[in-house]
Amino acid sequence: MTTVETPAPREMTVIYSRADRVFRGIVTAGALTSLILLGLIASFLVYRSSGIFREFGLKFITGTEWFSDSFREVGDEARPDSSVFSIGPMIVGSVVVATIAMLIAVPLSIGGALYIEFYAPRSIYRVLVAMLDLAAAIPSLIFGLWGIEIFTAFGVRWATFLNDRLGFLPIFSVEFENFGRSPFVAGCVLASLVVPITTSVAREVYSRTPRDLIDTCYALGGSKWGAIRSVVMPYGRSGVIAGAMLGLGRALGETVAIYLMLNLVFKYSYQILDSTGGNVASMIALKFGEATDREISALIAAGLVLFIITLIVNMVASNIVQRTTPRS
């Protein structure tokens, strides 16, 4: 019996040209620079806020008091500092306002993305996509001011309707009807910030739906809505969630709209029509100008908490986007 020797497997090698090596070096340097900057920011926040966390511990995150002993005189160094810092209500306020914004923005974003991708006339399709991408890049300050000046009146009407019809529920009951400065109206304004970026991501995901699957649905007698409901929406579900979480990260860090619309009150409140609230970012903006050195450290500690929350949201969104990408 003749033995046939199996040839050794050939080793595949890639030879990069000089242009490839230069490009790869630039891209690597850019990625490393981003990581280094992120690490430097995190290190600075941890260094400046470590004293506050050592002093207050978990109470800094769960407590409800913010008092700065800023009236101590120069010769008063012997008197102990009675300042108390905690941001529990601001964290809850951030979550409440962001949740309201997402509940309003996500259905609008899904509807807008489906209309642009499947129902908009081809003559205006490119214009709508360009305008959508442009709106997603507009700074939040512009949307915040627009929402406050234009959208507040509509939000007050909706808040009044909810209070009249659902006032028997605790979250819609209020003692004073000052709806213009309520978390609900602030959430409506934040929704205007979230809609463009969420719609842009959702439209991009829906556009990647394999055309063969859609045509198969048509071949079986399905309608356009049937194809969207049974093929497009299940295919892009994870991508829409990722876009919503990216919008959530933007809503959590919004400052101007919350700063102008909510009365900063350090009290846990789940009444979305009450004129109290605030979030971490607006609190930092409000108190930073006249803060003492110790209060600045506390504000930086609050920024570290917001940094961690936003980082977690974006990491989860990035993971979902990677799992959404179709594999060849």
CATH number, domain containing residue 229: 1.10.3720.10
Instruction: Please answer whether residues 294 and 39 qualify as being in contact, where contact means their C-beta atoms are separated by less than 8 angstroms.
Output: no
pLDDT digit of tens for each residue in the chain (328 aa)?
Answer: 566 677 777 777 777 788 888 888 899 998 899 889 989 999 999 998 888 888 888 888 888 888 877 655 555 555 566 778 888 888 888 888 888 888 999 999 999 999 998 888 888 988 998 888 888 778 777 777 777 777 778 888 888 888 888 888 888 887 777 777 788 888 888 888 888 888 988 888 888 888 888 888 888 888 888 888 888 888 888 778 878 888 887 788 777 777 777 778 788 878 888 877 778 888 888 888 788 888 888 999 998 998 888 888 878 777 776 765 555 4
For residue 284, how many other CB atoms are within 10 A of its CB?
21
State in Å, rounded, how far the first CA of the chain is from the last one.
44
CA pair distance 261, 148, nearest whole angstrom: 8
For residue 56, how many other CB atoms are within 10 A of its CB?
18
Residues 6+ apart with CB under 8 A from 194: 101, 102, 105, 109, 244, 247, 248, 250, 251
CA pair distance 307, 294, nearest whole angstrom: 20
User: Is 226 a member of any domain?
Assistant: yes
Half-sphere exposure of 309 (CA within 13 A, CB side): 22
The count of structural domains within the chain is: 1
Q: Which two tokens stand for residue 139?
A: 């700074």
User: Is 39 a member of any domain?
Assistant: no
Q: What is residue 84's three-state secondary structure?
A: strand
Instruction: Please answer whether residues 141 and 259 qualify as being in contact, where contact means their C-beta atoms are separated by less than 8 angstroms.
Output: no
Predicted confidence at residue 76, as pLDDT, reads 52
User: Is 4 a member of any domain?
Assistant: no
Domain of 241 in residue numbering reads as 88-324
CA pair distance 318, 312, nearest whole angstrom: 10
User: Is 217 a member of any domain?
Assistant: yes
CA pair distance 130, 149, nearest whole angstrom: 25
3-state secondary structure string across 173-203? CCCCCCHHHCHHHHHHHHHHHHHHHHHHHHH
User: Is 27 a member of any domain?
Assistant: no
Predicted confidence at residue 132, as pLDDT, reads 86
User: Is 220 a member of any domain?
Assistant: yes
User: Is 306 a member of any domain?
Assistant: yes
CA pair distance 252, 316, nearest whole angstrom: 15
CA pair distance 151, 143, nearest whole angstrom: 10
Predicted confidence at residue 79, as pLDDT, reads 57
Predicted confidence at residue 44, as pLDDT, reads 92
Residues 6+ apart with CB under 8 A from 148: 189, 257, 260, 261
Would you state the torsion angle of the CA atoms of residues 273, 278, 279, 281, taken in this order, to the nearest 10 degrees?
A: 140
User: Is 211 a member of any domain?
Assistant: yes
Closest CA to 269 of 89, 85, 64: 89
